Amino acid sequence: MAHVTDGLHRRGVLKGAAAGTAAALAGFPHIAGAQAKVIRIGMPTILSGRVAILGTSSRAAAQLAIKQFNEAGGAGGRTVELVDRDSKGRPDEAAKVTRDLINNDGCEVIIDAEASSGSFAVQEVIRDLPVLCVHTCSETSSLTADPKIHVKTAFRCARQGIHDAVAGGKYASGISKTKGLKRWMTCSPDYAYGRDNTAEFMEFAKKFDPAIEVVDQVWPKLFAPDYTENLTKILQVKPQAIYSALWGGDLVTFIEQGNLYRLFSNFDFFSGGLGDGPVLTAIKQLPPGMNTAYRYNRFYPDKPGNLAFAEAYNKLTNQEPTNWAWQNSLACQFIFEALKRTGGKTDGAALAAELKGMKVQSPFAVEDAITMRDTDHTIIGYPVAWGRTVTKLPYVEGFSPVAWSEIIEFETQWKASKGYV
Amino acid sequence: MDLQALAGCLASTSCAVTQASTGLIVGMLLFLVASGLSLIFGVLGVINFAHGAFYMLGAYFAFTAYAVTGSFALAIAAGALGVAVFGMVFERLFMSRVYGRDILMQLLVCYAFILILDDAVRTIWGAEYRMMGMPDAFALPPVEIAGGFIPGYYLFMIGTSFAVAVLLWLGINKTRFGKVVRAAAINPQMVAALGTNTTALYAGVFGVGSLLAGMAGALAAPIRTLTPGMGLSILIESFIVTVIGGMGSIVGAFIAAVLIGFTRSFGSIGFPLFVDGLMFGMMALVLVVKPSGLLGRPAT
């Protein structure tokens, strides 16, 4: 067996040498050199279907960051190129295109801009093919919190559910105590994210204000075209406050249909997904005073770099940036900094070593920097504030931040309760 | 399961009125789509699996017409008539070639067009969701009826759909055109032998069926987000309606659509986690007890 292997190896070397000589004579070295100079970053994402905006805004933000990086000279003499593939929102397809990007397209780094179900599939591919991978859209906490899922070369550059739950619970409880909002109801999409997100939000809201009682819950289907039956149920229950994990087009439909009943003047509304620019602008009659988590806002954090990002992105896409846009832009910043530190080398372990604990000065940071936490490969220091809607630009204002020290304290308790630490 | 809440709702006038109106809102939109599907099947004997895509086209045509003209009446006309014309062209160029062929062939042609139309919409209007917005005339507080609240636009939608149902029934049962259509559904060769241009008749019927889907899309545009592929969910529910009501029966489609609407609205109070199960259960029951549907003709 060893003999055969050796024989093949020798023949392979001879063939390789012959091919190399032929290529040199044919003038290929120039092309080969150019290919090696460009670092290909693969991006599996969702570019079709009802949540295509996740992929299109992720891709646009990455392209913008790459353009700026290349114009600045790249890293170690190497520039970067983005190769995107549509997974159509299917986890099996996400895994397949990720393998293809690495094995066939020569991608040396992966930016995984998949929704959560796809990200877990990509994580397993990265376990087998240890290139650097940065997840940029999955908000499911266990992806990085659960040590059983941990992969040494995989990181998350995205907000996560547990951080939002603590911040949201803290914010909502402040309002519930002030206004005496005891009767709560929830209306969230009936799938894993909708149920987990709602449970976590209400858990922390009740932790901070034990007087809160959830009197009813409705679970419309994901991508439901009509919410009338849910809205009239809300009319019957007459809650004082509602939490919703609906997002994207579903949330737009829910609010527009609720407007027909003048529903939102009857209770306080709390939403984790309303703060995205395209959602806010798609709603023709945005009710003022709705409470929403920060997704992205060009005026918060109030920094020139943030405004410049929004304007550059808007120029490219004719839209306001989304939550996924800033996360992908930030992910590129982390990757480029790591590439600079390795002198353009793309070895997964070397890049991962640089990313662990890395701090980058970012226009999206609450203070000055966002940190890629070394213990669980996830970011902290990003905005987790809540604000209230207004009918005109900037559509959300009065952001009320929660101290990261407090978020981390409750996150640690939550991790312990789950057996993660 | 919360039977106590359901009983409480039925005992309360305000709740009963609100939920009944919800049932009618859901049901009437379903009726428009399902009646077109049923009409086409009843006369042409083909199942137009692309009917949901026609509903989507109607919504996008209305969206564009409203954006350009600002007139909601023109938007509805554009949605309904635009899809009617498209339907007739589709029937002449493609569907007419698979009449009498294996159902798999019909399914393949329709499925191909579902994909083509979804991609065309994505190319023309973009992959992101769109919202047409409520016309100013309907931006009013909901109307209070016996303590229950019904939005003005929903009253308009219910009224329009009901008027269409009556017109359709009158057109099929009380006009000469209707008689010819009914005759063609039973014996097309005889109708052709008597001098009727059945080619034009088929295209006309397909156009009317498509018009109903387009009108449903246009009426839904102010209250639903528009996305490529939005026709799929309503197509599935429309099939449930046509199976329960009986393939080919307009009155059956009306009854079944209202039944499904009421199941959704009152089911969300009494069986909040089993509403879909109720709908499919009802369909299964009809298939077992009366496979031709409530008012469908038994297969001969």
Q: Are strands A369-373 and A378-380 parallel, antiparallel or unpaired?
A: antiparallel
Preferred mutation among A226, A250, A264, A280 to probe B, highest tally of B CBs within 10 A: A226
Q: Which helix (H) or strand (E) holds A217?
A: strand A213-218
Q: Measured between CB atoms, which of B154, B228, B268 is closest to A233?
A: B268
| ipTM value greater than 0.95 | no
Rounded Cα distance between B216 and B58, Å, is 7
Rounded Cα distance between A176 and A212, Å, is 8
Residues written for chain B: 300
pLDDT at residue number A145: 95
Angle, alpha carbons B149-A218-A54 (nearest 5°): 105
User: Which residues contact residue A369 at a Cβ distance below 8 angstroms, ignoring those fewer than 6 apart?
Assistant: A359, A360, A361, A362, A381
In the predicted structure, residue B20 carries a pLDDT above the cut 80:
yes
Q: Mean pLDDT over residues B168-182, rounded?
A: 92
pLDDT one digit per residue (tens) for chain A, 421 residues = 333 334 344 454 445 444 444 444 443 333 334 445 899 999 999 987 768 889 999 999 999 999 999 999 999 899 999 999 999 889 999 999 999 999 999 999 999 999 988 999 999 999 999 899 999 999 989 999 999 999 999 999 999 999 999 999 999 999 999 999 999 999 999 987 899 899 999 999 999 999 999 999 999 988 888 899 899 999 989 999 999 999 988 999 999 999 999 999 999 999 999 999 889 998 988 999 999 999 999 999 999 999 999 999 999 999 899 999 999 999 999 999 999 999 999 999 999 999 999 999 999 999 999 999 999 999 999 999 999 999 998 899 999 999 999 999 999 999 999 999 8
A194 inside 8 A of chain B by CB: no
What is this structure's pTM? Answer: 0.85
Q: Are strands A386-389 and A396-400 parallel, antiparallel or unpaired?
A: antiparallel
Q: pLDDT digit string (tens) for B85-126? A: 999 999 999 999 988 888 899 999 999 999 999 999 989 998
HSE toward the beta carbon, residue A261, CA cutoff 13 A: 26
Closest among B292, B12, B43 to B178, alpha carbons compared:
B43
In the predicted structure, residue B171 carries a pLDDT above the cut 90:
yes
pLDDT at residue number A358: 98
Nearest CA in chain A to B274: A219
Q: pLDDT digit string (tens) for B226-281? A: 999 899 889 999 999 999 999 888 999 999 999 999 999 999 888 888 888 999 99
HSE toward the beta carbon, residue B29, CA cutoff 13 A: 33
A380 inside 8 A of chain B by CB: no
Rounded Cα distance between A287 and A279, Å, is 13
Q: Measured between CB atoms, which of A50, A218, A249 is closest to B272?
A: A218
Query: Which residues of B are less than 8 Å from A225 in CB distance?
Result: 220, 224, 230, 233-234
Read off φ and ψ for residue B196, nearest 5 degrees.
-85, 135
- Rg of chain B in Å (alpha carbons): 19
Q: pLDDT digit string (tens) for A340-392? A: 999 999 999 999 999 999 999 999 999 999 999 999 999 999 999 999 999 99
Rounded Cα distance between B140 and A378, Å, is 48
Q: Mean pLDDT over residues B71-76, rounded?
A: 96
Please give the C-alpha separations between residue B91 and each of B54, B99, B114, B195, B234, in angstroms, as whole numbers: 12, 10, 14, 21, 21
pLDDT at residue number A222: 83
pLDDT at residue number A32: 38
Q: pLDDT digit string (tens) for A158-217? A: 999 999 999 999 999 999 999 999 999 999 999 878 998 999 999 999 999 999 999 999
Q: Across the A/B interface, how many CB contacts are shorter than 8 Å?
A: 106
pLDDT at residue number A34: 43
Query: Which residues of B are less than 8 Å from A215 in CB distance?
Result: none
pLDDT band at B299 (very low <50, low <70, confident <90, very high): low
Question: DSSP label at A297?
Answer: B
Residue A301 preceded by cis peptide, ω within 30: yes
Cα A412 to chain center, whole Å? Answer: 21
Answer yes or no: do A232 and B18 touch at CB < 8 A: yes
Q: In what order do the strands lie in the sheet with A213-218?
A: A213-218, A183-187, A241-244, A268-271, A291-293, A386-389, A396-400
